[in-house]
Structures are given as C-alpha cells and as structure tokens.
Structure 1
Amino acid sequence: MSRLVIYSDLDGTLLDHHTYSFEAAKDTLESLKALKIPCVLNTSKTFAELLNLRTELKHNDPFIVENGAAIYIPKGTDLSIEEELEDCGSYWRKAMGPPRKALIDITSSKKQEYEFARFSDMTSSDIVNLTGLSVEKAIQAMQREFTEPMVWNDSETNLETFKNDLEKFDLQVQRGGRFTHVMGRHCDKAKAMNWLTEQYNQCTATESTKTMALGDGENDVGMLAAAEIAVVIRSPVHAPPEIPNRADAWLTKQYGPNGWTEAVNKALMQEGYL
C-alpha cells in the first residue's frame, strides 16, 4: 500500500466559504491523525493566520502558505531534508519566491494603467468588510511575506494584459476565491506540493507516496492537476474550476468541509485504510 499524503486548500474547502467553520471535517481529521496520514494545508493564507488556525485544527503537519510561496516544516517531524532551510523558530522554512516588498514596488508602477486595490492599500476594516473575518484575523491576513492579494476592479481583458506586463518582472497573477494574487513566477501550490512530496519520498524509501489534493478555486488547479487523486470541492458561490487533462478528477456532491469529508473518506476506503 502506498503512503497517502493529503494536500488541502482551506477557504471553501476544509473551511466553509461563509462561516469558516471546519466542524463537519473534525472526525475525519482525527482519523487521519490516527492513521498517521499527513494532511498538509496548502493555502493562500499567511503564516500568521495559520498559527492560530493550526491550534484550532490540532494540526501538526507541514503547511504551505500564500499560494505556494513558502513551505513551513515543524521542527521535530520525521522529515530529513538535505538542503539548507531558513530557521524560523519552531519551523524550518523553504521560500519559493521574492519578498512582498518587491511585489508592492512593481505593482505601484502599474496603478495609473489598471484599476485594482491591493492589501497594502487597505485598512483592516476594508479586509473585514471584504471577507467577513474578525479584525484580529484580518490583521493576520494582511501580514503577507511573499505575495500581494488585490481586488481586481478592471476588465478581464485588462487582467490578461496586466498578467503579461508582470511576466517581464518574473511575476505571475493567480485568481483565488476572493482575491487576485501577485507572486513570484515560480511560486504556486503545485510546485510547493511537489517539493514537499519529494521530501516525504526520501524519508519513506520502502514505500511510494501517493498524493491527494483538494481545492475549490482557480488557484488550486495546478495542485489538483499534479496530484494523483484530484478532488474539486463543490462551491456555493462559483462554478467548479476545470482541471486540464484530468477526466478522472472527483467533484464532490457536497460543499466545503462536508465535501472535503466525503472525498477524504472515499479515498481512505479506496486506498485500503478503512
């Protein structure tokens, strides 16, 4: 039996789109712990947001922040990584892209050409109004390290032009569930997932690693396309994203954490864990 490693988006996937609750997934999360199946959070959220949320989730596995821009590995895990990583207190960090300041400087030069509002242009009250987060969580969401989310107020045609403009600076633009994200061109959830999976492969040389990815947004497409088990979580607010060349991708019947639980339990049965 292959070792299963699960990569999960948060908002709209493990967390309910409207309430941010994960109540429906609690029992399945406990099952994964009992089965020693890593559940790697792969999200657009920040390191600051993940600290409190991981406590609520009782999460002890590695996690990926800001749409694949950085990977955090708790010290004391069974992963033995040969390359040098940044020491961040209780974690080792693998950065996949340039710092946020570079993104702010470059997009500032584009403000006369396009209509957008960046996180760096907003107050915590603005973020609360856009997301429904508490003030405390909105402040955590603003503590970006490697990406710059924005509200795109221009046309879809101009968004494509904007993407092309930023490619000259080795940057890319990805659409998420709520925001448009600017980041380094070599940052994405799939690349971060693949790097971390290779670390799991190295520490489990006697068995293969099988990846499962779950997500609901356009910024999850790369991760879903690269995983061996791809799960699109049904959303109450937008159509399911299409996964190129993956006719085998699952689409859940239920929304958010209910759909997440539906899919994970199906995979556990299919892979012989239950």
Structure 2
Amino acid sequence: MTWLVFTDLDGTLLDHATYDWSPARPALDRLAALGIPLILASSKTAAEIAPLHGALGLGQAPAIVENGAGIWQPGDAEAAEAPAYRRLRWLLEEVPPPLRARFCGFGDMDDRQVAALTGLSPAAAALARRRKFSEPGLWQGTAEERRAFLGELERLGLAARDGGRFLTLSFGATKAGRMAEIALRYGAGTTVALGDAPNDREMIEAATHGVIIRNPHGPGLPELSGEAAGRIRRSAAEGPEGWNAAILDLTAGLAPQES
C-alpha cells in the first residue's frame, strides 16, 4: 500500500528560528529507504521551495506551494508572468482604503522589510516575495476591522487563512485539497500530514495519520477530533526534533517492500 508524507516547513520540518532541518535527518533517511515520497506543503513560493527540495534530495516529488494555492513540480520552468497574483493584488486594491491600509502584504514591502519580519537573508526574502498565487501579510487593525476586511475579501472572491506568522490571501485552494489531488495521482492508500499552525489543520485532519508538531512560538492548534481516537497525535519535542520522532514512530513497522 502506497504511503505519502506531507509536511509543513516553518516550525515543523524547519526550526522556527533557524530554519535548520538537520535534526530530522534520520527520519528523512528512513523515508528514502522505504521509498516513501515526501511532499513539502508550505506557504513558501516555488522559488524558495526549489533549492530546499534539492537539498533534501526529494527527487521528482511535487511540492504544495503558497499555502496550497499552487503545485510545483521539479523541472518546471519559472514563468515570467504571474497572472493569478497580479489579479489578486488588483482585487486587494478594491477593498475600502481604511481597511486596505490595515493589511501590509509582501507586495507592499521591499526585500529588506520582509527579511526583518521573517529573519531571512535579503536574498531569501527576495525569493519569498516572488509570488505566483497568493499574498501573505501582516494584519494591524482591530478585531472589528478584521471582520470587515474578511467580509470584503469574500465579496471579491478572495479567501484568507491564518498561518504561524502571516494572514495569507488567495483564491481559496488549500493544502488539504492539494494533498487529495496528489494522493489520487499516486494512488496512495495511506497519507501522513505534519504541521504546527491553523493553516495545517485541514491537511492534518484529512490525512490517515496526522501529527501536530509542538511550536510554542505560534498560535498552535486546539484539540482535534482525531486525537481521542489516536489518528492524530502531538509531538513532545519542537520542530524538526518532534518531526523526526513522529516519522520514525509511524514508520517503525514498515519494511521497504511495503512502501
């Protein structure tokens, strides 16, 4: 029976502060030995995902980018145009100015500002700003203004999702939806999903096995219905250490021919 593992990055496979993934190396090696594809599922852009995908040695496995707004396949040439992102930014300007002013998206910032917010280098921040499908940003208004802002987005056909750090706008595609699409493509009988933030909830709940990775730096996740039955578990350790332990535990009974 084919297994697929889907994972969030920041605060999950990558350390929240340093973006280091090396503590997860034993589990990554275990997945490779079993022949289980690892599907990165992140708010990161394709431009950010590509070098990490190569460093992790993930072969031809696709990646879910920009919070599920798109799918990247290794070898895809980067298009010069980004019509979906351009339309999103155009629609955002249709929000009434007092509300629009409360949202500062990556398209409203320069590389230096994004670097300061994320801890990325200026070069890495430039890749994070190379959007194709979605717009992350900071909300800096009241709860009442936020409700009004979200209502305006819905009127315009846009969706908003909370991540570990940013409010991300898109046309509504999700990590869970992309997970189902990729699982169908592979004919996967078993899916594993790991994440740490509210934007991972649907993916974790939809998987055969879900793992909530401990991240005290983010908003976290409430108790999910699958936890009582043991289908969803929580890691004791944070970030890649928790990720490593969870994957080794879940795959402990598998042999290479079973993958």
Normalised TM-score (structure 2): 0.90
Task: Structure 1 unaligned segments of length 5 or more: list them.
Answer: 76-87, 91-96, 202-207
In the aligned structure 1, how far is the partner of 2:122 from the partner of 2:32?
31
In the aligned structure 2, how far is the partner of 1:227 from the partner of 1:188?
14
Give 1:220's aligned amino acid. Answer: D
In the aligned structure 2, how far is the partner of 1:144 from the partner of 1:221?
23
Once the two structures are TM-superposed, the CA of residue 109 in structure 1 deviates from its matched residue by 2.4
Aligned to 1:59: 58
Equivalent pairs, count: 249
Aligned to 1:94: none
Pick from 243, 253, 258 the counterpart of residue 260 of structure 1.
Answer: 243
Give 2:139's aligned amino acid. Answer: W
Aligned to 1:163: 150
Change over 3 Å in CA distance of 1:197–1:101 after alignment to 2: same
Instruction: Check the 8 A contact 2:27/2:245 in 1, yes or no.
Output: no
Pick from 223, 228, 251 the counterpart of residue 203 of structure 2.
Answer: 223
Give 1:11's aligned amino acid. Answer: D
Aligned to 1:101: 86
Once the two structures are TM-superposed, the CA of residue 270 in structure 1 deviates from its matched residue by 4.9
Asked if 1:242 is matched to 2:222, the reply is yes
In the aligned structure 2, how far is the partner of 1:251 from the partner of 1:58?
26
Once the two structures are TM-superposed, the CA of residue 156 in structure 1 deviates from its matched residue by 2.8
In the aligned structure 2, how far is the partner of 1:139 from the partner of 1:57?
21
Change over 3 Å in CA distance of 1:225–1:175 after alignment to 2: same
Change over 3 Å in CA distance of 1:168–1:111 after alignment to 2: closer
In the aligned structure 2, how far is the partner of 1:117 from the partner of 1:128?
14
Matched position secondary structure for 1:99:
helix
Matched position secondary structure for 2:97:
coil
Give 2:165's aligned amino acid. Answer: R
Equivalent residue runs for 1:162-241 within 5 Å:
162-185=149-172, 187-201=173-187, 209-241=189-221
Give 1:250's aligned amino acid. Answer: R
In the aligned structure 2, how far is the partner of 1:197 from the partner of 1:106?
32
Q: Give CA deviations for 1:127-163 in whole Å, capped at 9, x if unaligned.
A: 1100110111000000000001111101233223222
Matched position secondary structure for 1:159:
helix
Once the two structures are TM-superposed, the CA of residue 170 in structure 1 deviates from its matched residue by 2.0
Sequence identity (%): 34
Pick from 100, 116, 128 the counterpart of residue 141 of structure 1.
Answer: 128
In the aligned structure 2, how far is the partner of 1:55 from the partner of 1:45?
15
- Structure richer in strand, relative to its length: 1
Give 1:156's aligned amino acid. Answer: A
Note the aligned Cα RMSD (angstroms): 2.1
Compare 264-273 and 228-237 and name the one that shifted more.
Answer: 264-273
Instruction: Check the 8 A contact 2:115/2:125 in 1, yes or no.
Output: yes
Matched position secondary structure for 1:178:
coil
Matched position secondary structure for 2:252:
helix
Q: Runs (4+) of structure 1 moved beyond 4 Å? A: 270-274
In the aligned structure 2, how far is the partner of 1:126 from the partner of 1:197?
37
Instruction: Check the 8 A contact 1:225/1:243 in 2, yes or no.
Output: no
Instruction: Check the 8 A contact 2:105/2:136 in 1, yes or no.
Output: yes
Instruction: Check the 8 A contact 1:6/1:38 in 2, yes or no.
Output: yes
Compare 255-264 and 103-112 and name the one that shifted more.
Answer: 103-112
Instruction: Check the 8 A contact 2:95/2:152 in 1, yes or no.
Output: no
Task: Structure 2 unaligned segments of length 5 or more: list them.
Answer: none
In the aligned structure 2, how far is the partner of 1:171 from the partner of 1:270?
43
Normalised TM-score (structure 1): 0.85
In the aligned structure 1, how far is the partner of 2:139 from the partner of 2:84?
21
In the aligned structure 2, how far is the partner of 1:119 from the partner of 1:242?
28
Instruction: Check the 8 A contact 2:37/2:58 in 1, yes or no.
Output: no
Matched position secondary structure for 1:20:
coil
Matched position secondary structure for 2:170:
strand
